Structure 1
Amino acid sequence: MKRNKKEHEIDLKSWLFKFRSKWYLFLAFTLVALAVGYVYVKKSPSVYSFKATLLLGDQQTGSKKAQELLEVLQVQSKGIKVEDEIGLLQSDEMVKQALQKLDFTVAYYKVTDHWLNNISDLVVEEQYESAPYTVKLDSGSYQLVDLPLVVRVLNDKQYELTAKGEHVARYNLGNQTVVESLPEVNFTKVLEFGKPYRDKYMNFTLERSDAGDMAPGKKYYFVINSLQSLVNQYKSSLQVAPIERESRMLWVTSKGSIPEKQINFLNTLMAEYVANDLEEKNRNGRKTLEFIDSQLATLSDSLNQSQQALSSFRSNKRISDVGMQSNLNFQKLSLLESEKARLKTDRSYFATILDQVQNGNGIAQSVSPSVAGIQNPILSTLFLELSQLNQEKAGIQVNATENNPKLVKLESEINSTRKAIEANLKNLIRSADISIADADERISKLESDIAQMPENERRLADLQSQSAFIDKKYEFLLEKRAEAAISLATNTTDKKIIDHASMAGNAPVNVKPKMIYMLALLIGLAIPAGLVILMSNVDNTIQGKDDLSSITNIPFLGVVAHGNKSDKLAVLHNPRSAIAESFRSLRINLQYLMGNQSFQVIGITSSISGEGKTFCSVNLSTELAMSGKRVALIESDMRKPTFSKYFNVADVYGLSSYLSQPELSLDEVIQHTEVENLDLISCGPIPESAVQLLEQPKMHALIEQLKERYDYVVIDTPPVGYVSEYFILMQHMDVKLYVVKHKYTERNLLNQINELYADKKMKNIYMVINDLNYNKTYEYGYKKKGSYYYA
């Protein structure tokens, strides 16, 4: 089979011709696509983009005092993680807090007066503060949420309310929970403006407002949104991202059709985020103050009692001073008591923190040991690391499951850090116990020395020591409380709103009419183009000369034009027709190709029945006869004779009779036709075995006799694809014409003839395309312009 070198190249002109022939498909699909695009543009609400800017600080705490303490202790600061803050800002809880501060529960919509709404409610416009009515909900009653409630104005006092939907939630607005799910809701009621509507499903009042005119016949609808649906709606359009890589400046963007609602949402969201951050830090400071206040309350009573006892003793015993030695001993004892008191305070503080850490009440995330004055760098660092891990865990938990690998890893790190804190606190408690025991031992020795002093002096020194000890401890706690109060008072958030929300540009970001129409136009052209390409690739029939030359090396002779096939003898009856001109061209081409070769016998065949081989045989014979040549036409297809459709012939005698009856002469089987110079030999009676008759030597003798009497002998042979008679007759032919029909003959039917030609078993064979419509092929499209040459 022939493989054209350019078979993989795209013939643009050919494809353009195919597309042009199906222009009505392109027109229809383009109009439909543009109509759909128009409806889409009108139906889709304009969505705008909004943006704001937020700055994150370096530390989790805004207290400068705490930062100074971290610097003194040389604790390494890890700072905040931008990813965690982004997760927190986009979390459901943060969006929910912002929406609870806004009045977005009821959404109002208006069905505009556009002509598309005569078909259906396609063009709908959302209203915010411009709605001509307001819906006042009873928050203590149940409501139907996320269901469009259609309002049609009847007159100045009445309106029609229609609700229709499936799987509708009955909702408790008070605690924001779904009470039940209704399988179906479908009702229409006539209500009055300003009067409450109550039933088992809903409780609201619809009142007219001065924002617009509610003319009779106007249609509106409103939706009571559940909090979760609002969260999902606004969270889906919320985007938070750093301005640059590793930057602490964040872009906070969203999209929506109502600018006022989106701007209010973004500003409220950022305000809630900053307020939550400050509240969290203030909560940590308040916990520290509460701890110190509880210690001061206990010491206040002890201080009053010790001072009163000392004053009473001095008054009763009339003692004002003691000796130098006693003073020295008592000073030492006082110092030891102070040191012991400090150690006990430290141990009590460590024990308190250890108990709270072990009980898991959150103190590990909120109190740093440095706040109370116990400056332990290792402990402070561990608490800071634990706080960082807990915040990172909170940021990941927003969108992660319990089995998230990163979350599991963080949980392990948190447990390890907590265990390290517990071990460090236990070591500090043991160290404090050892120091207290040592102080007790030294105090016992001093007390033994003092015991040798006079009883009054000893008693006085004891009261003075006790009073001094309590006083110093009280002053110490007062100092620490002042520091904690200053820290709380100066506490600030490190989150800052840089730019409040505003619209990013003036044009919508979703509906761009020019782009939509261009896309619709491309789709309207692409679909029919794809259909044409698909039909062309699926069609396995021969489409024209180039298609034929791509599948066979057999030379091409010419084409027979499409025309009125009811006129079987078109060459004779309409010599100026396109069909007559086609056979005239075939005759001339055949004579030119054969050149000086002597050819008289022309065999015409095809692959299968219905391709027009008999039509071509008859009309080519007629054309040869009309050119002045004597022509004999033989109908050799004894299985399916068709000459009777072309000529008024008698089938009493024919080819089968001549070959099977020796007594018949040639003149008895030759019949004259209405065409001058054209005689024919019909098939005759259908024999039992046409092959055996055609194999007889008498067939060869018949051809030789006809060659002597006529200039040309044309044999209409059976199709190659059905029977084998053609291969018997082929030996008598000087030239062979193989007919294929335009858009009828399948390509694979030429495999057999291609093999014969490739094996050089068949010579002087030419291809003819029959019934070619010039209007349906690019190769001969130019010929339709010459139609005025034909009658």
Structure 2
Amino acid sequence: MKRKNTEHEIDLRSWLFKFRSRWYLFLAFTLVSLAGAYVFVKSSTRIYAFKSTLLLGDQHTGSKKAQELLNLLDVQNKGIKVEDEIGIITSTDMVRTTLKRLDFSVSYFKVPNHWLNTGFDLIKEEQYDNAPFVVKLDTSSLQLVDVPLEVRVLNDKQYELKVKADNTVLYDFKEHSIQQPVSDIEYTKVLEFGKPFKDKYLSLTIERANPDDKIDAKKHYFVLNSMESQVGQYSSSLHVAPIERDARVLELSTKGAIPAKEMLFLNTLMDTYVSRDLEEKNLNGQKTLEFIDGQIASLTDSLRQSKQALSSFRSSNRIANLDVQSNISYEKLSQLEMERSKLSTEKQYYVTVLDQIEDNQSFTQAVSPAVAGVQNPNLANLFSELSRLNQQKAKYSVSATQDNPQMQVIDSEIKSTRNAIVANIKNLIRSTDISINNINSRIGQLESSIAKVPENERRMMDLQSQADFVSKKYDFLLEKRAEAAIALATNTTDKKIVDKAAQWGTGPQNVKPNMIFMLAMIIGLIIPAALIVLLDNVDNTIQGKNDLNNVTNIPFLGVIAHGSKTDKLAVKNNPRSAIAESFRSIRINLQYLMSDKPFKVIGVTSSVSGEGKTFTSVNLSSELAMSGKRTLLIESDMRKPTFGKYFNTHNAAGLSSYLEQGMPLEEVIQKTDIENLDIISCGPIPENAIKLLEQKKMSDLIAKLREQYDYIVIDTPPIGFVAEYFILMKHMDTNLYVVKHKYTSKDMLTQVNELYAAKKLKNIHMVINDLDYNNTYEYGYKKKGSYYYA
């Protein structure tokens, strides 16, 4: 038989009753949850959030005029990529450089005097500038790092240093490197404040910060932090992002327990980033000046010698003026030589840059193309692209290995750009060579025409032309040096600190007591509720009338209240009890349901032993007898007789004696202490109970008893164990099927459901036994009538 659909419906009132009846679970779990929340709130380190903002400029440096004169120092349309700058700020190198400027190598902690710290050190607080002592490290010696070193102040002069470590390392603070691993260290020493202490693990001096301060903590300790641990800690908490999409204002944020340390770190990080940017730009300008100075130094002697040679020639040959035509020729010759010189300088620059590129030097180490006055935007743009790719590679190398596909793509692009630069420079060199050859040809033609001038005048023109050439080249380099010096002197960083670091929010980010306690209370209510729901769904036993109706279509007759296990005859011994009232209700309900049908024989059975079948049959018989009806109770369960627990009767003669031995009926029937109630016990246990019950003599016995008694109640064996019930079933006018509250499994009703569906069972009714009114919603109202019961 299929279960009814109502089995899956939710009865809110029923669930509320189940929750209320187990209020102690909610109270216990809520108290435990709140206690756990209290321990968490007290023991958790408060973490605060801090933020600052930084502006990224347009990447131009120096004055506007200097930029126009030295535009190749910064490539045309060169801008910044916010992602690259974020990668630089958050890089390990930047964080490491920042921490080197700070003094975070020693962290101080205390364990307060709190009852939670009685057994374990649950509450720990970091101290920054209010520790009772100060640790000064000897950086020339190796130190034990990243382990707590306990300090107990004995008096104003002495302290106790307790060292206990397992699997740590010795660290060189001068080189910031790990030297050797160390394991299993434990010792305690009494030392004096202000005096150096040194052994193979530590070298330091501890001084009292203020001897007048009272030591009010359970324990004090400090930790020597390696640079690696500091970098890892601050890198993990540092976050940088633009304030909005495509914005050049970056928001730097971090989290930590000590506001002063976190704000100092953020401010120092921004200062380091800005100052490094200016240093790099000044370095490029300084290299330009050095190159120009080298060129000027090489021309100084040439200029002096050319002027001296011209003056000596004029004096020795008494030449004051030259022919106008000769002057024009020599002026043209001088201009051509000047052009050839510029082209030679350009070629020298291209050759120098080509050598540097082919030697795999980076762009920042190459000589700036502005020195030679060359204006080639294609070459400049290629250098810009190479610089950008190098910056991008530096950004990815922070978190990616060389085998990363993105790194391989960038390396390929760098190689391609270098090849393009090399090819471009070689083309420029070939183009310059062609121009130089063309000028050389024109100079040759001009020199041939000048050869016709008198020797002294021609010699004078040569010296003059050479002197003018050297002088113009010298003046050109002086002008470029002045421009480069102006650019260097006016260099400024395009990065700007907008907002200094400040705490964000009014309280800690991780510990919010009100929310935690509220969450703990909710958890304390959810867990027992879920546990009750789980246990209820796992429990497959009959919980009440609704459960019974969900698993069977057999009509429901009534319930038997829970009572004392020692009171077997509750109807007789305590007629005003809830159990006695239950059997009265069953009797009345049964008489009402069978009012239109003649019935005398009532069969009582159950699924298995222990469900109260015999208890029900005995007390129902007693109730029928006490109502004035002559009643006979038959114990047909000849495998497991139990009437001896209820009546002061013997089992020497009974149903088996009558059926098997032919004992007279008068000798089988026994009187009881209850008026109108007789019983027939099972008698001696036979070898084959089924065979006895199948005899015609059994049918004759029931027919004979029908004439003598108003009601016959037969206590039958459990239907789930043996087959006797199916033999006795034909003698019964009505049947009571007993299930026990929170004992009988729903699956046990399968057999009786099938019999009822097949109409093999007639006039059968369900009875719930041992139902505690205090633990059921359906009959909870009955506990209010307890004053009706004795």
Range of TM-score over shorter length: over 0.9
Shift in Å, 1:218: 5.6
Aligned to 2:44: 44
Q: Could you tell me how far apart the structure 2 residues matched to 1:442 and 1:286 are?
A: 39
Shift in Å, 1:269: 0.7
Shift in Å, 1:781: 2.1
CA pair 369-594 structure 1, distance change in 2 beyond 3 A: farther
CA pair 115-371 structure 1, distance change in 2 beyond 3 A: farther
Q: Could you tell me how far apart the structure 2 residues matched to 1:727 and 1:6 are?
A: 31
The RMSD of aligned alpha carbons is: 2.1
Q: Could you tell me how far apart the structure 2 residues matched to 1:748 and 1:177 are?
A: 72
Aligned to 1:467: 467
Q: What code does the residue aligned with 1:206 have?
A: I
Aligned to 1:29: 29
Aligned to 1:527: 527
Gapped regions of structure 1 (runs ≥ 5): none
Q: What code does the residue aligned with 1:620 have?
A: L
CA pair 367-559 structure 1, distance change in 2 beyond 3 A: farther
Instruction: Name which of structure 1's ranges 599-608 and 394-403 shifts more when overlaid on structure 2.
Output: 394-403
Alpha-carbon displacement from aligned partner over 1:762-789 (angstroms, at most 9, x marks no partner): 1211111111122222222222232222
- Residues 1:190 and 2:190 aligned together: yes
CA pair 288-212 structure 1, distance change in 2 beyond 3 A: farther
1:366-445 aligned at under 5 Å gives the runs 369-370=369-370, 372-445=372-445
- Residues 1:677 and 2:679 aligned together: no
Q: Could you tell me how far apart the structure 2 residues matched to 1:345 and 1:371 are?
A: 9
CA pair 719-367 structure 1, distance change in 2 beyond 3 A: farther
Q: Could you tell me how far apart the structure 2 residues matched to 1:341 and 1:219 are?
A: 80
2:145/2:225 contact within 8 Å kept:
yes
Give SS of 1:190's match.
strand
Q: Could you tell me how far apart the structure 2 residues matched to 1:613 and 1:357 are?
A: 103
Q: Could you tell me how far apart the structure 2 residues matched to 1:86 and 1:221 are?
A: 37
Q: Could you tell me how far apart the structure 2 residues matched to 1:353 and 1:230 are?
A: 41
Alpha-carbon displacement from aligned partner over 1:61-109 (angstroms, at most 9, x marks no partner): 5664575479899976252111221121111111111111111111112
CA pair 72-109 structure 1, distance change in 2 beyond 3 A: closer
Q: Could you tell me how far apart the structure 1 residues matched to 2:320 and 2:748 are?
A: 137
Shift in Å, 1:392: 2.1
Aligned to 1:274: 274
Alpha-carbon displacement from aligned partner over 1:290-332 (angstroms, at most 9, x marks no partner): 2222222222222222222222222222222322332222222
Give SS of 2:184's match.
strand
Aligned to 2:744: 745
1:737/1:765 contact within 8 Å kept:
yes
1:169-568 aligned at under 5 Å gives the runs 169-210=169-210, 213-215=213-215, 219-363=219-363, 369-370=369-370, 372-568=372-568
Q: What code does the residue aligned with 1:414 have?
A: I
- Residues 1:96 and 2:96 aligned together: yes
Instruction: Name which of structure 1's ranges 396-405 and 281-290 shifts more when overlaid on structure 2.
Output: 396-405
Q: Could you tell me how far apart the structure 2 residues matched to 1:3 and 1:580 are?
A: 32
Q: Could you tell me how far apart the structure 2 residues matched to 1:553 and 1:599 are?
A: 22
Aligned to 1:695: 694
1:590-609 aligned at under 5 Å gives the runs 590-609=590-609
Q: Could you tell me how far apart the structure 2 residues matched to 1:163 and 1:645 are?
A: 75
Q: What code does the residue aligned with 1:514 have?
A: N
2:656/2:692 contact within 8 Å kept:
yes
- Residues 1:713 and 2:709 aligned together: no
Q: Could you tell me how far apart the structure 2 residues matched to 1:367 and 1:585 are?
A: 111
Q: Could you tell me how far apart the structure 2 residues matched to 1:786 and 1:177 are?
A: 83
Q: Could you tell me how far apart the structure 1 residues matched to 2:63 and 2:379 are?
A: 19
CA pair 75-277 structure 1, distance change in 2 beyond 3 A: closer
Aligned to 2:127: 127
Q: Could you tell me how far apart the structure 2 residues matched to 1:69 and 1:603 are?
A: 118
Q: What code does the residue aligned with 2:711 have?
A: Y
- Residues 1:724 and 2:728 aligned together: no
Percent of aligned positions that are identical? 65
CA pair 593-370 structure 1, distance change in 2 beyond 3 A: farther
Instruction: Name which of structure 1's ranges 353-362 and 120-129 shifts more when overlaid on structure 2.
Output: 120-129
2:111/2:217 contact within 8 Å kept:
no
Give SS of 2:624's match.
helix
Q: Could you tell me how far apart the structure 2 residues matched to 1:648 and 1:218 are?
A: 75
CA pair 156-471 structure 1, distance change in 2 beyond 3 A: same
1:57/1:495 contact within 8 Å kept:
yes
Equivalenced residues, count: 790
Q: Could you tell me how far apart the structure 2 residues matched to 1:371 and 1:510 are?
A: 58
Q: What code does the residue aligned with 2:656 have?
A: S
Shift in Å, 1:535: 2.0
CA pair 428-673 structure 1, distance change in 2 beyond 3 A: same
Q: Could you tell me how far apart the structure 1 residues matched to 2:165 and 2:534 are?
A: 43
Q: Could you tell me how far apart the structure 1 residues matched to 2:438 and 2:364 are?
A: 31
CA pair 212-751 structure 1, distance change in 2 beyond 3 A: farther
Give SS of 2:786's match.
helix
Q: Could you tell me how far apart the structure 1 residues matched to 2:285 and 2:748 are?
A: 94
Q: Could you tell me how far apart the structure 1 residues matched to 2:70 and 2:324 are?
A: 45
1:389/1:413 contact within 8 Å kept:
yes
2:172/2:179 contact within 8 Å kept:
yes
Give SS of 2:400's match.
coil
CA pair 241-675 structure 1, distance change in 2 beyond 3 A: same
Q: Could you tell me how far apart the structure 2 residues matched to 1:343 and 1:115 are?
A: 86
1:59/1:77 contact within 8 Å kept:
no
Return the TM-score normalized by structure 1.
0.96
Alpha-carbon displacement from aligned partner over 1:701-756 (angstroms, at most 9, x marks no partner): 11111111111111111111111111111111111111111111111111111111
Give SS of 1:123's match.
coil
Give SS of 2:166's match.
strand
Instruction: Name which of structure 1's ranges 748-757 and 682-691 shifts more when overlaid on structure 2.
Output: 682-691
Give SS of 2:726's match.
helix
1:136-155 aligned at under 5 Å gives the runs 136-155=136-155
Q: What code does the residue aligned with 2:326 have?
A: S
Q: Could you tell me how far apart the structure 2 residues matched to 1:691 and 1:282 are?
A: 113
Instruction: Name which of structure 1's ranges 202-211 and 167-176 shifts more when overlaid on structure 2.
Output: 202-211
Give SS of 2:778's match.
coil
Shift in Å, 1:461: 1.6
1:151/1:162 contact within 8 Å kept:
yes
Alpha-carbon displacement from aligned partner over 1:123-159 (angstroms, at most 9, x marks no partner): 2222211222211111111111111111111112111
Q: Could you tell me how far apart the structure 1 residues matched to 2:13 and 2:366 are?
A: 78
CA pair 759-366 structure 1, distance change in 2 beyond 3 A: farther
Q: What code does the residue aligned with 2:14 have?
A: S
Give SS of 2:558's match.
strand
1:365/1:386 contact within 8 Å kept:
no
Aligned to 1:635: 635
CA pair 384-65 structure 1, distance change in 2 beyond 3 A: farther
1:153/1:218 contact within 8 Å kept:
no
Shift in Å, 1:620: 0.6
Q: What code does the residue aligned with 1:675 have?
A: I
Aligned to 2:115: 115
